[in-house]
Structure 1
Amino acid sequence: MLSSYPKSYAAMSMPIKFIAHQGITHPFGDHRAVKQAFPSAIPSEHSDPFLMCDYFDLVETTGKARHDDDFPIDWHPHRGMDIATYLRSGVGRHADSLGNRETFDSPGMQWMSVGSGVEHAEGGATDAGTYMQGFQIWINVPADRKMDDPRYGTVPSKDLPTVTLRDGGGTALVLAGDALGVRGPFETVQDVQMIDFRVEKGASLKFSITEGLDTAILYVYEGCLKSVNGENDIQAGSVILLDADFDALRGLKVQAKDEDAGVMLFAGKKLKEPIAWHGPIVMNTQEQIRTTLSELRSGKFPPKRVEWDYKRMDAFPKIE
C-alpha cells in the first residue's frame, strides 16, 4: 500500500453545478435492482464521456454456479464502449468471446474495451449469503475508435493501486488514469480519472483533479458527508456535478461526518459527439445501430472472436 498525497492540493475549489440523487434501475428486467449515479441522476450530456454507473450492495442469494457454463447474467453483446466491473466485496466471474474465463477476488476489477464487439457473461462465483458490493461502469469512446479490436484485463487485489491519504484520513483506490503517483489499471480509450476514496469518520481529504479534464462527478455511494467544497450535509446516494471548465479551479475537499464514507470520483475529457444508444450498444448514428443489430441477427457478431464455441467449456482447446 503506497502512502502519498497530491503535490498541489491548494488549488481553488471547483464550484458545484448541482447535486442530484441516485436512481433505481432494473437492468435485468426482473426484481433485481441497482442504484444508478448516471445517467439516472446526471444525464449523458453532463456526464460525457461517462455513460453509466450502476452500484450494487446486496446479499448473494443464488450462490455459486453449478456448471462451468452457467452464468446468472447470461451471454449478451457490447459494442462501442469501455466497461469495468469493480468489486469491493464478493468474487467476480467472467467469460467472453475472446476466450477469456476468469474469476477475481475483491477488491478487484475486470475490464473490457469492447471496440467492434464482444459477447460476455458474468457472475456465479460468490457463495450464497455473502455480501456483494461493487460497480459496473461504462465509458464512451471516440467515433474513430469504436471499431477497434477488443481488449480485456482482469485486475486482482494485489494489482489494484491503493494509496494511503496523508494524516491517516482514508485510502484511495486508483482504478483509471494517473493520480497520487500511480496509474490505474483500467485501460480506457478516453482520458479519465476514476478513484474510489474511503474517508474515515470525521476526516477530510484534499485532491486536485487533473487539468484538461472537463467533466467531474462525485458519487457518495456509502455514508454521509459533512461537506464537499463548502456545500454542507451531503447525504448517501448524492451525485455531485462539479464545474470542471476552468483549469485554475481544480480543488476538491471532502469531509466525512460521524461514519466512514465511500466516494467515487469520475473525471474525464468530454467527447462532445452524438450518441446513438441501444441497450448494450453505443454508437454515433442510428444507421450504425441498425448495422450492429443486423450482424447480431445474422450471426456475424462479434467480428473478432475465438474459433471455437466460447460458450461451452468443453469446446475449449485442450492444453497438452
Structure 2
Amino acid sequence: MASTSTMSSLLNIKLIRKQGITHPFGDHRTVKQAFPAGISSELSDPFLMCDYFDMNESNGRAKHPDEFPIDWHPHRGFDIASYLKTGIGRHGDSLGNRETYDTPGMQWMSVGSGVEHAEGGANDEGVLVQGFQIWINVPAERKMDDPRYGTVPTKDLPMVELNDGVSARVLAGDILGVSGPFKTVQQVEMVDFEMGPSASTKFEIGWGLDTAMVYVYEGSIDDLNGSGPLEAGTVVLLDANSKDRRGLRLSTLSGSACVMLFAGKKLNEPIAWHGPIVMNTQQQIRETLNELRSGTFPPKRVDWDYRRLSAFPLAEKK
C-alpha cells in the first residue's frame, strides 16, 4: 500500500446499486447478493458472484458423517472462496477432502475440470453463521485445469491494523503489505475491512487491475471517494481504468461498518453460465451436462466413494 503522502488520485464512482436477495438453496433460506444481482457479471468481470449470509443455524449439527445440509453438487470452470466470519465451516469433495475449520477462516477451490462437493452441518442449533461465498471466473485456457483445494485457518488469514479503528483481513492478492492465502487463477485483490466509529483509511488498488467494487455489507459508512453516506447492502462500482486514479478513501462517523473490496483484472471473455457451471460456450455446457448424466463427471476424483466416509481408506478418514 502506498503511503498517504504519495497516494494517487481517488477512483471515480461509476455506479451505486443495492444488493439483491436470492434463494440459492431452492427453499426458504435467502442470501444477500452484491453481484450479479447488484452489479452485472459484465461489469463485475472477473468476479461472478458474491453471496453474503448471516443466519442462525436452524437444523443443528449433522447427525451422520455423510449428512450435509448443502447437499452434493457439481462445479466446473471457475474459482470459489467460502469465507466464514462466525460459526464452523465443514466441507467434503470428490478429491477426498473432509474438513472442518474454525472462523474467521476460509475454504477455497479452483474447481477446474470439475469438483463435486457438499457443505455445512458443523454448527449447533442457534449458532450465528456469517460469511461469504465468492465465485471468480478464470481464463478459457485454464477452465479444464486439474482442480485444487485449500483450507485456511484463522492464523493464516492476515489481519492488518491500519489507522485507529480500522483493521483489514486480506483474503487474496498482495496488498497492504501482506499476501492473501486464496491463490486464484485470475489476478484479484479481496480485502475485508472492519471500521469502528469515527474511523477513516486510504489505500490503493494494484496496478493493472481494471475492475474495482466496494460492498458495504454491515453498518454504514459516511463517505467513499466523495459518495456521501452509504448504508448496508450498497455495492459501488468504481472506474479502475485510469493509471493515475487508483486511490480509495473510506470513513465513518457515528457508526461502525464492515466493507469488502473486490479488485481484479478483467477477462473480457464470453460467459456461458448454467447454475454451478461457468464456461465460454453453450456447447461446453452441453458437454458438461452429458458428463453429469453419464456419470463421468468429475473426470478427476479419488477412486473410492467420496460421499461415504466409511469407504475412505483408513489413512484418509477424518
**TM-score w.r.t. length of structure 1:** 0.97
Q: What is the CA-CA distance between 1:231 and the residue it aligns to?
A: 1.1
Of 72, 75, 91, the match for 1:75: 72
Counterpart CA distance in 2 for 1:78 and 1:28 is: 15
Asked whether 1:224 is paired with 2:220, we answer yes
C-alpha RMSD of matched pairs (Å): 1.0
Of 99, 112, 115, the match for 2:112: 115
- In the alignment, is the contact (CA less than 8 A) between 1:169 and 1:205 conserved in 2? no
Gaps in structure 1 of 5+ consecutive residues: none
3-state SS in 1 of match to 2:71:
strand
Match of 1:289 in 2: 285
Q: What is the CA-CA distance between 1:115 and the residue it aligns to?
A: 0.1
Amino-acid identity (%): 67
What amino acid is aligned across from residue 264 of structure 2 in structure 1? G
3-state SS in 2 of match to 1:319:
helix
Match of 1:310 in 2: 306
What amino acid is aligned across from residue 220 of structure 1 in structure 2? V
1:124-149 CA distance string (max 9 Å, x none): 00111111110000000000000000
Matches within 5 A, 1:137-216: 137-166=134-163, 168-216=164-212
Match of 1:279 in 2: 275
Structure 1 stretches of at least 4 aligned residues deviating more than 6 Å after TM superposition: none
- In the alignment, is the contact (CA less than 8 A) between 1:177 and 1:184 conserved in 2? yes
3-state SS in 2 of match to 1:67:
coil
Match of 2:10 in 1: 13
3-state SS in 2 of match to 1:125:
coil
Matches within 5 A, 1:89-100: 89-100=86-97
Counterpart CA distance in 1 for 2:259 and 2:315 is: 44
3-state SS in 2 of match to 1:314:
helix
- In the alignment, is the contact (CA less than 8 A) between 1:108 and 1:160 conserved in 2? yes
Q: What is the CA-CA distance between 1:260 and the residue it aligns to?
A: 1.4
Matches within 5 A, 1:248-287: 248-287=244-283
Counterpart CA distance in 1 for 2:177 and 2:220 is: 28
Q: What is the CA-CA distance between 1:10 and the residue it aligns to?
A: 1.8
What amino acid is aligned across from residue 172 of structure 2 in structure 1? A
Matches within 5 A, 1:17-56: 17-56=14-53
**TM-score w.r.t. length of structure 2:** 0.98
What amino acid is aligned across from residue 298 of structure 2 in structure 1? P
Q: What is the CA-CA distance between 1:289 and the residue it aligns to?
A: 0.1
Counterpart CA distance in 2 for 1:41 and 1:155 is: 28
What amino acid is aligned across from residue 42 of structure 2 in structure 1? E
Gaps in structure 2 of 5+ consecutive residues: none
Of 212, 235, 259, the match for 2:231: 235
